[in-house]
DNA sequence: ACCTGAACACCGTTCAAGT
DNA sequence: ACCTGAACACCGTTCAAGT
């Protein structure tokens, strides 16, 4: 029985947050409840409250963990010499951030729900503003730019509707039915589905669309610079 | 006592959804529970399930009501003659949609959470695609455009962090503390706060930023047309 | 200092029963 | 056809109590 009674690793804020990320990664964000989080750590739900004020703080912390992961990755990206190509560097940072988020698909939604200005996010933004300033942006334009990018700065863009899993191409029969009420939409989807039949992420490749939108904004900013 | 027993208006899917919008408008989306919804209608929570499958369907319906409101407003906007200025018309539609959403500030978050392709949204999109096609867009470019606009097509853009209420300008003392770790960010915020002290929606005017981002994208698309 | 059991005030939802 | 009471399986959280 003493073999069973091996001293458990004590809880800590850090362990709690890491376990929370693990649960969200493995079972989705809706599986992240205080009770399940405690279970994952071999403790009771009430024990968590000694290390964390409440669930909101868990969610804040979870976002902080993810953004820290992003900061580590983009920290390895070089800064261009002053005046050199800010756009390339910014693009690289943003696409790298996106790669991290693709490993935590539940994260964008949680990030958006936070109202606290987390240190890790501030740090991420600092680097982007520094890049733009180095590239000749006025403070005013850099400020506009951050708003124009919005969540794209962190590597994700809000689609109109959350797709619960990969989007499947519309069936010909569906397009036919659509054509009556929504001729332009049906025509567009038919053509796009046809032109791009085997793209990796479904009938419209999110990565391609993300980069299209990103470049549209970055190019526009470059013109205003 | 018979005066009390006046026959109540019977429940209906429509009444349920309208009541749901009312609650969200008046007390916020987190106040929208099945029990409170029933209370608002003078019924028991369980009665709702006769008219609506579950809460998800309530949320779908609520979004549908809001987008229908948008469709009514934008429906009064004229369509430019073929080949005429698509951009002006698109801008007007989107800014009108935004005005509706400003009356239902909880709506963007709920809209984004839906995974079902609601008829009202399809109809809204149809009109935008029609405008672009009329303006000389290929189907492919129109498709890219819809993705690039994302939620901006409906009149809202996801800020990095949800601001629970209006954002206040940072205090000079806060900026000072920030300057040590985040010099570019602090410098930017200091200058922007100074340049634009009295904007209506706080230290950075969301409407201005929304229009800036929107025009950046629309101008970019116009160039690719 | 760290953890827990019992309990509270909420959720959404089912189901058999009422009118 | 429409509505409801009682009940179930969950939530987050408090608080007094344990070690």
- The answer on pLDDT for A3 being more than 70 is no
pLDDT number for residue B192: 85
What values do phi and psi take at A202, rounded to 5? Answer: 115, -170
Residues of B in contact with A148 (CB under 8 A): 209, 212-213, 216
Please identify which residue in the block is written with the tokens 């004020």: A53
User: Tens of pLDDT along chain B (225 residues)?
Assistant: 333 444 578 999 999 999 999 999 999 999 999 999 999 999 999 999 999 999 999 999 999 999 999 999 999 998 887 666 999 999 999 999 999 999 999 999 999 899 888 999 999 999 999 999 999 999 999 999 999 999 999 999 877 665 555 566 778 888 899 999 999 999 998 888 766 544 434 455 588 899 999 999 999 999 998
Name residues whose C-beta falls within 8 Å of residue A156's C-beta, 6 or more positions apart in sequence.
Answer: A98, A101, A108, A210
- The answer on pLDDT for A4 being more than 60 is no
Nearest nucleotide relative to A52: CA against C1': D13
Nearest nucleotide relative to A49: CA against C1': D13
Q: Which nucleotides of D are covered by protein (CB under 7 A)?
A: 2-6, 10-16
Nearest nucleotide relative to A53: CA against C1': D13
Contact status, residue B112 vs residue A161, Cβ threshold 8 Å: yes
Q: Which nucleotides of C are covered by protein (CB under 7 A)?
A: 2-6, 10-16
Q: Which of A115, A139, A164 sits opposite B187 (nearest CB)?
A: A139
**What are B110's two structure tokens?**
């709920």
Q: Test A192 with B112 for CB contact under 8 angstroms.
A: no
Integer distance in angstroms from the first to the last C-alpha of chain B?
71
- Segment among A1-5, A67-71, A209-213, B134-138 with least mean pLDDT: A1-5
Q: How far apart (Å, rounded) are the C-alpha atoms in residues A166 and A163?
A: 7
Cβ of A182 near strand D (under 7 Å)? The reply is no
pLDDT number for residue B202: 44
Name residues whose C-beta falls within 8 Å of residue B21's C-beta, 6 or more positions apart in sequence.
Answer: B62, B65, B66, B104
Q: Test B154 with A160 for CB contact under 8 angstroms.
A: yes
Contact status, residue A195 vs residue B140, Cβ threshold 8 Å: yes
Give the Cα-Cα-Cα angle B81, B85, B88 (nearest 5 degrees): 120
Q: Test B216 with A220 for CB contact under 8 angstroms.
A: yes
Name residues whose C-beta falls within 8 Å of residue B115's C-beta, 6 or more positions apart in sequence.
Answer: A161, A162, A163, A164
Helix (H, G, I), strand (E, B) or coil at A205: coil
Contact status, residue A83 vs residue A133, Cβ threshold 8 Å: no
List, in sequence order, every beta strand (DSSP E) within chain B: none
CA-wise closest residue to B149 among A148, A203, A195: A148
Strand partners, A167: A202
Nucleotide C13 C1' to residue B8 CA (A) = 25
Nucleotide C6 C1' to residue A45 CA (A) = 13
What's the whole-number average pLDDT of chain A?
Answer: 88
pLDDT number for residue A84: 66
- The helices-and-strands tally (H runs, E runs) of chain B is 11, 0
pLDDT tens digits along A9-68: 899 999 999 999 999 999 999 999 999 999 999 999 999 999 999 999 999 999 999 999
Q: Test B216 with A212 for CB contact under 8 angstroms.
A: no
Cβ of A46 near strand D (under 7 Å)? The reply is yes
- The answer on pLDDT for A203 being more than 90 is no
Distance of CA A176 to the CA centre of its chain: 35
CA distance B114 to chain A (A): 6
- The strand C neighbours among B residues 44-63, by Cβ under 7 Å, are 45-46, 49, 54-56
Q: Test A209 with B147 for CB contact under 8 angstroms.
A: yes
Contact status, residue A71 vs residue A128, Cβ threshold 8 Å: no
Chain B residue closest in CA terms to A210? B148
Cβ of B47 near strand D (under 7 Å)? The reply is yes
Helix (H) or strand (E) holding B37: helix B34-40
Q: How far apart (Å, rounded) are the C-alpha atoms in residues A181 and A212?
A: 29
- Segment among A50-64, A87-101, A198-212 with least mean pLDDT: A198-212
């Amino acid at each position: 029985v003493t073999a069973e009674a091996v001293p458990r690793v004590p809880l800590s804020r850090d362990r709690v947050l890491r376990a929370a990320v693990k649960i969200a990664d493995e079972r989705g964000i809706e599986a992240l409840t205080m009770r399940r989080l405690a279970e994952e750590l071999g403790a009771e739900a009430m024990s968590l409250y000694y290390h964390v004020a409440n669930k909101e703080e868990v969610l804040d912390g979870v976002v902080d963990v993810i953004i820290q992961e992003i900061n580590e990755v983009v920290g390895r990206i070089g800064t261009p010499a002053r005046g050199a190509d800010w756009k390339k560097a910014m693009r690289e940072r943003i696409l790298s951030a996106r790669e991290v988020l693709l490993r935590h698909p539940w994260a964008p939604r949680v990030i958006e729900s936070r109202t606290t200005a987390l240190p890790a996010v501030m740090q991420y933004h600092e680097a982007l503003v520094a890049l733009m300033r180095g590239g000749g942006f006025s403070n005013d334009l850099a400020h506009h730019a951050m708003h124009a990018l919005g969540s794209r700065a962190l590597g994700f863009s809000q689609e109109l509707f959350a797709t619960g899993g990969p989007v499947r191409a519309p069936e010909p029969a569906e397009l036919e039915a659509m054509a009556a009420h929504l001729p332009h939409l049906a025509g567009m989807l038919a053509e796009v589905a046809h032109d791009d039949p085997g793209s990796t992420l479904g009938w419209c490749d999110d990565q391609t669309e993300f980069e299209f939108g990103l470049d549209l904004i970055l190019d526009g900013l470059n013109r205003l610079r």
